[in-house]
Structure 1
Amino acid sequence: MHGGALSGDLYTLRTGAVVVFYNPDSACIARANRLAEVMHCVVVDNSPSVRTASEVGLSAAVSYLPNGANLGIATAINQGVASLIDAGFDAAILFDQDSEPSRQLLDGLPRLLEEALRRERVALIGPAYEDLRLGDVAPFVRFGYLKLRRIPPVGVTPIDVDFLISSGSCINLAAWQEVGPMDDALFIDFVDLEWCIRARAKGFAVLGAPELRLAHELGGEPVRVLGRLYPSHSPLRHYYLFRNAVALIKRSYVPCTWKSTELIKFPFRLAIYGLFLQPRLGHLRMALTGIWHGLIGRMGALEQH
């Protein structure tokens, strides 16, 4: 097991990684093995088949937790983080299976977290992400009425933000134990946002590290609508996106600023998914089912027959 600090680093937080698998290909497995050469790595596998680490192709350095079923991103992250807490780690960096972290990122996130913790209570810190298919580095985000405030990732000073995507986020595990685990009922989509909202409500900062980057593909192949590229997803993912948005809009602790922007986006998303993605009726039907289930409180994994 690796300790917290990478060789030559100045930080003392014992930092491990959590990678969530779902039907990984050989490139995903190779990335996890490379990560395990640098720091302690827990792989939580949501693939439906049950295999050993060696059968999957993972090295002996990886701590492998197979679920034998898709229990959702929230549950998988909770399992991985619990494993790191039990092993005495101070921080956890979360990754999707297709994320390729640089050594600069792995060195920089724990160092910046430790520096920030000397000044304030911090829940997590994360990089700006770049999706080469969308052609740009995504801005950091603050909530605003009717419109999100987008903050360019420039400079070296950490930026106070309202939420970060989970992949690439470095979580202070002391804060995690106060905030609580991620919401299993959400299953996928808005899981990271909901946790950040809870953390900020408890007085913790969420920080963006503008000098760090993570290559990350958001959704499926982008679709172009009126000259602008939008991330696309499967009909099932659109079910969870709409259902969880409705579920969070109903929760009192979620800021009205975020609720207002989501309500504005609803008709535009329905139009894009229903008109520009194939199969049109499939996307529209799943989105509307998600809205209904959000309204009646049907959460967890969607049971499909």
Structure 2
Amino acid sequence: MIISGLNSTEMNFSSRTKAITVAYNPDLNILRQQLESLNHQCETIIIDNCSEKNLLNQLYEYCNLKTHVLIISLDRNTGISSAQNTGIKYVLENTPDSEFVLLLDHDSVPSFGMVNALEKQFDYLDKSGRNPAAIGPLLYDPRDRKHIGFHSIKSCLWRKVIPLQESGPIECHSLNSSGSLISLKAMKAVGLLEKDFFMDHGETEWCFRALNKGYRIFGSSDFSMIHHMGDDVVEFQFFGKRRMPYRSPLRHYYIMRNSIHLQKKPYVPLTWKFWNVFKIAFTFVYFGFFSRESGEQRKYIIRGIRDGFQGITGEFSQNEAA
């Protein structure tokens, strides 16, 4: 349901980019912060993945006061990648002059001026012959008080690179979907996101598919964006104190299952596949034995690995629980 028209007459307001935010029972305070920032940067399309009625009504009331926001409300939870595809298709069909989509989760807050800055850096990379498909900002999780960095392959290592701030764009091999400014030209050539993943690793698969088609992926250190990774942040000891996102058993089901699907795809880099095996093992050992909900974590992680090998996709089905 579209609840408000789109109007883009403000100075420095981009007509080239449409932001697509997927919302599912969002924290409205954080989502309002996101929309306040975007209201002066670009038009925003919210794809609501069948949130609770009370939350959705509050979102309607708030967005009715805005001039650059529309809501498409889905009658069921279709998953993150499928909802993003719904927004992308809307942009392609209804705003054919648009050049980019900015993908966002409902718990991300872009910096003021980020959209315009990412467009300019994309243009620079494109004009210099770098053939970019997407560029994303440096993510910052306020709970961890740390920048998250960009994933890159170097010397057979899959690692996170945290560049110096304002050091310009760096090449990487995948981006978090939230904050990614994606060229619609590249999207048409590469294809939409993998909807059957439902959630988790949809952006990873798309980036690898784009790389396989000759495109390149970049991260920008000039702007950061607040983004909440996982449900919480936990500390653990491994050669010193470390912190990492805590995810629910269901989230780990999707991560494990879709990781196995990626292992089987021929265009996924061998370096990623090699290190992904270690990540799967670490996730199982740590969350399956040393975290809260360890019993449920083991159950869902094992189920995800099993379903991945069996080729099962889509939404988790409790009826087939192990």
> TM-score, with normalisation over the residues of structure 1?
0.92
SS of aligned partner of 1:242: helix
Structure 2 match to 1:230: 244
- In structure 2, the residue corresponding to 1:57 is in which secondary structure? helix
Aligned to 2:80: 73
Answering whether residue 123 of structure 2 is matched by residue 114 of structure 1, we say: yes
- CA contact 1:29–1:57 (8 Å) conserved in 2: no
Partner residue, 2:3: none
Distance, in Å, in 2 between the alignment partners of 1:152 and 1:27 is: 28
Q: Using the alignment, how far apart are the partners of 1:36 and 1:304 within structure 2?
A: 40
Cα distance in 2 for partners of 1:234, 1:294 equals 18
Would you say the 8 A contact 1:145–1:260 is kept in 2?
Answer: no
Residue 26 of structure 1: CA displacement? Answer: 2.5
Residue 167 (structure 1) aligned to one of 174, 178, 189: 178
1:72 and 1:301 in contact (8 A); partners too:
yes
Corresponding residue of 1:264: 278
Q: Which runs of 5+ in 2 are unaligned?
A: 1-5
| Structure 1: 4+ residue segments shifted above 6 A | none
Paired residue type of 1:18:
I
Corresponding residue of 1:212: 223
* Further displaced range: 228-237 or 136-145: 136-145
1:6–1:107 Cα change, 3 Å = farther
Amino acid at match of 1:44: I
2:289 maps to which of 272, 275, 282 = 275
Residue 54 of structure 1: how far off its partner (Å): 6.8
Contact 2:175 2:207 in 1 (8 A): yes
Q: How many residues align?
A: 302
Aligned counterparts of 2:108 and 2:59: Cα–Cα separation in 1: 22
Matches within 5 A, 1:3-152: 3=8, 7-8=11-12, 14-31=16-33, 33-34=35-36, 35-49=38-52, 55=60, 57-59=62-64, 61=67, 62-86=69-93, 87-88=95-96, 89-120=98-129, 121-144=131-154, 147-152=157-162
How far has the Cα of 1:41 moved from its partner? 0.7
Greater mean alpha carbon deviation, residues 189-198 or residues 36-45: 36-45
Taking a change above 3 Å as real, the CA distance of residues 166 and 194 of structure 1, as seen in their structure-2 partners, is same
TM-score norm. by structure 2 comes to 0.87
Deviations 1:246-280 (A, max 9, x none): 11101111111100000122221111111232211
What per-residue deviation string (whole Å, max 9, x for no partner) do you get for residues 82-134 of structure 1? Answer: 11222121111111111111113122111211222212321111111111222
Counterpart of 2:300? 286
Alpha-carbon deviation of 1:49? 4.7
Cα RMSD for the two superposed structures: 2.2
Deviates more, 1:21-30 or 1:199-208: 21-30
Q: Distance in 1 between matches of 2:180 and 2:270?
A: 25
Deviations 1:63-98 (A, max 9, x none): 211112211110111111111222121111111111
Once residues 216 and 313 of structure 2 are traced to their aligned partners in structure 1, the CA distance between those partners, rounded to angstroms, is 28
Q: Write the distance in 1 (CA, Å) between the matches of 2:46 and 2:74.
A: 11
Match of 2:260 among 230, 235, 246: 246
- Alpha-carbon distance in 1 for matches of 2:224, 2:60: 32
Runs (5+) with no aligned partner, structure 1: none
1:193 positional shift: 0.7
- Work out the percentage of aligned pairs sharing the same amino acid: 29
Relative to structure 1, is the Cα distance of residues 73 and 260 closer, same or farther in structure 2, using a 3 angstrom cutoff? Answer: same
Using the alignment, how far apart are the partners of 1:233 and 1:118 within structure 2? 40
> Shift of the alpha carbon at 1:29?
4.5
The 8 Å contact of residues 146 and 260 in structure 1, kept in 2 or not, is answered as no
